[in-house]
Amino acid sequence: MFLVAVLAACSAPAHESPSCVPASCAADACGELLDGCGGTLACGDCASGETCGAGGANVCGIGTCEPETDAALCTRYARECDAWSAGDNCGEHRDVECGTCSMGACVDGACTCTDECTVGAIACTAGSVRSCIANGGCAVWSEAVACPTGTCASSTACAGSTAGFAHITAGFAHTCGLRSDGTVSCWGLNSDGQSQPPAGTFTKIDAGSDHTCGMTSAGAIQCWGANDHYQAGSHTGPYLDVSAGWWHTCAVKSDHSLECWGDLSSPRYPPTTGSYAKVAIGSQHGCALRTDGTIACWGDTADGKTTPPAGTFVAIDAGAFHTCARRSDGTIACWGSNIEYTTLVNQAVAPSGSFVDFVSGGWHNCARRLDGTAQCWGSNKRFYWNRSANQSMPPSIAFVELAAGDEHTCGLTALGTVVCWGRNDAGQGTTNPGATLAVDGGARHSCGLRADGSIACWMRRTYDATLDEAESMPGTFTELSVGSGHQCGVHTDGTVACIGWNGNSNGTNVGQAVAPAGTFRHVSAGIWHTCGIKTDGTLQCWGDNLYLESAPPTGTFQQVATGQYHSCGLRSDGTLACWGDNTYGERNAPAGSFVELTVGRGHGCARAASGTVTCWGENTYNQTAVPAGTYKAIAAGLNHTCAIKSDDTLACWGRNTTGETVPPAGTFTKLGAGLSHTCAIRSDGTVLCWGANGDRQCVPVVP
């Protein structure tokens, strides 16, 4: 049964334009219909006993009619936006909502671009830079990026910017940028020197997991960072291309052959024949782009890592266990593993479309569209803690280049500035976090508070999702305190944030990392409990309360310090008060007036305005036997104490099982003690740690 009889266009003389003949209503049609020429037909009502729409859309029949949705009506009438009225499939004339335009303005039901700018334009206003990008066919301004200096020099440039990067590359947890003058700057994890580039100039850089390589204008290669498998070092060449992997490095020599160094145990050894233009190295495999555009791969064959697609390509890059390549038409092909350890993340399933370039990270990839914006696919989480890292969620900014690390990604803007997203616990996503203002230590980790208010923590990578102590906290902070397995910080708005282990020695959840509501001006994280000074000067504690260590006294305080089963506070009048366990006399604080307080497991120390230090409580390891002299700052660990002397050098006393009381030489300005290690800030702003280092808690990621 035909609903509407649509007539073909009538024939017309050659000198006349064809005209549209509107359709007519079929015998059983009802309600409002399209006439095929841009208008509508009013087809009337159904006969008695029949219902419009019961026999089909706008067809009379016996029964009932289910009205079509607004979305279906908008599609039928080809309207993208705005509210209007129309007849539906049941013959009813009703109001219909077709939504709003994500881009442009709504004109006669159609979304029409109202360009805000010219694609490619750059604007600097109020200390931030924006790029004009094409989005949905409309030219719009991207999200603003803050100038490094916070001010604009002109309408198109930041003031005093020292960025000026021409190329970027990302490793496991560090990032490097090649400046326009050929010098290199790196930031992020520096456990193996991967963020300390050598002097000199380079034309190309490439970051591996924990090392980076740079190529000079003469074609020589110099690598820095981890060298435990001899993957770094200097190599004369000359070379045409270099790729740094996890434990080995490969380069294309000037005769287009391949040369690799580092861990070349089977199956990582490259082919000895062939002519190559580019090389890409993963964890245990490698691929190279031949000079004829085809691809050769070698190494671990699992998951098809060494089975590239046929055809010719113009670019190639490798992740940990997968590889991608771009064709001349801009399309991308990927192969290898789609799994991040045990989770399907599809890093080897490339999106459709055309891209100008791309990069491959550990378990994700990002590609740059024609308008400069980025599209990413693959993993978007932190494997070790199974939480989002957002490395595959780029901002809507136009970039000229991308760089993908293990769990972070960076983009280079037309201004030479770098914007990063994803994991940033080692500062790998912050180009200039500023100096380190404070440091503190826990049982197996340490943290530093940077000048920009961010907190960076460091320790050995762990697979235990319950031990989250080295996780850096998002946000901006004014104070930091590290407990045994957790840390807390005071936000700029006075609220407290804590993260990490919430259990006690029995594994019972006691909530030391669950910060209460309210505003605070000071916080101290102990072994299994935490205390803070509220803005009114009173105390509040949370966590383990076995010995009433979380039941503080009344009154107002200027400082609080937490230990294992006890705490002490420095009252507003300079006197001391302690509460909790008293097994070692740790509650028996001395009389007098003091300006600073610190607490260990079973002992405490306080500094007077004169610089003298008095300690009390447990003395099993001479932790209360203060060396003669005057001091500027004190910090107690589990069974030891360290202090900055009046001449800015260090002194430590107490237990010394791991070298925690053997401080380094030099002058220092700040310090913080962990259970069996201590970290301090040198006079030049660098951070140095000593003592227990079994979990790399003495290998700082901050400068």
The full set of domain ranges for the chain reads: 167-422, 436-691
Q: Give the tokens for residue 405.
A: 């690390």
Whole-angstrom Cα distance, residue 377 to residue 621?
A: 55
Answer whether 497's CB lies under 8 Å from 491's CB: yes
Per-residue pLDDT reduced to its tens digit, 67-81: 999 988 888 888 888
Domain 436-691 CATH assignment equals 1.20.1250.20: no
Answer whether 571's CB lies under 8 Å from 537's CB: no
Full-model pTM: 0.57
Residues paired with 418 in a beta bridge: 412
Q: Which residues contact 663 (CB under 8 A, 6 or more apart)?
A: 642, 650, 651, 652, 678, 680, 690
For 133, the 3-state DSSP assignment is strand
- For β-strands 677-682 and 668-673, DSSP reports them as antiparallel
Low-confidence ranges of the chain (pLDDT < 50): 1-17, 161-163, 385, 460-469
Per-residue pLDDT reduced to its tens digit, 482-541: 999 899 999 988 999 998 888 888 889 999 999 999 999 999 999 999 999 999 999 999
Whether omega for the bond prior to residue 267 falls within 30 degrees of 0, making it cis, is yes
Whole-angstrom Cα distance, residue 186 to residue 245?
A: 17
Nearest alpha carbon to residue 58 among 87, 78, 80: 87
Per-residue pLDDT reduced to its tens digit, 102-114: 666 788 888 877 7
Whole-angstrom Cα distance, residue 463 to residue 190?
A: 21
What per-residue confidence (pLDDT) applies to 653? Answer: 97
Amino acid at 592: G
Q: Secondary structure of 423-462 in the HEC alphabet?
A: CCCCCCCCCCCCCEEEEEECCCCEEEEECCCCEEEECCCC
DSSP notation for 506-533: T--B--TT-PPSS-EEEEEE-SSEEEEE
Q: Which residues contact 273 (CB under 8 A, 6 or more apart)?
A: none
- 436-691 and 167-422 share a CATH fold: yes
What per-residue confidence (pLDDT) applies to 33? Answer: 85
Q: Which residues contact 91 (CB under 8 A, 6 or more apart)?
A: 30, 31, 32, 45, 46, 52, 53, 58, 65
Residues paired with 607 in a beta bridge: 596, 613
Whole-angstrom Cα distance, residue 693 to residue 140?
A: 51
Nearest alpha carbon to residue 36 among 12, 3, 69: 3
Residue 548 C-alpha from the chain's centroid? 39
CATH for 167-422 (1.10.150.20, 2.130.10.30, 2.120.10.30, 3.20.20.70): 2.130.10.30
Nearest alpha carbon to residue 67 among 97, 93, 35, 98: 93
DSSP notation for 548-609: STT---SS-EEEEEE-SSEEEEEETTS-EEEEE--TTSTT-PPSS--SEEEE-SSEEEEE-T
Half-sphere exposure of 184 (CA within 13 A, CB side): 29
What per-residue confidence (pLDDT) applies to 14? Answer: 40
For 73, the 3-state DSSP assignment is helix
DSSP 229: T
What per-residue confidence (pLDDT) applies to 13? Answer: 39
- For β-strands 332-336 and 436-441, DSSP reports them as unpaired
What per-residue confidence (pLDDT) applies to 464? Answer: 38
Half-sphere exposure of 481 (CA within 13 A, CB side): 32
Residue 172 C-alpha from the chain's centroid? 12
Whole-angstrom Cα distance, residue 215 to residue 192?
A: 20
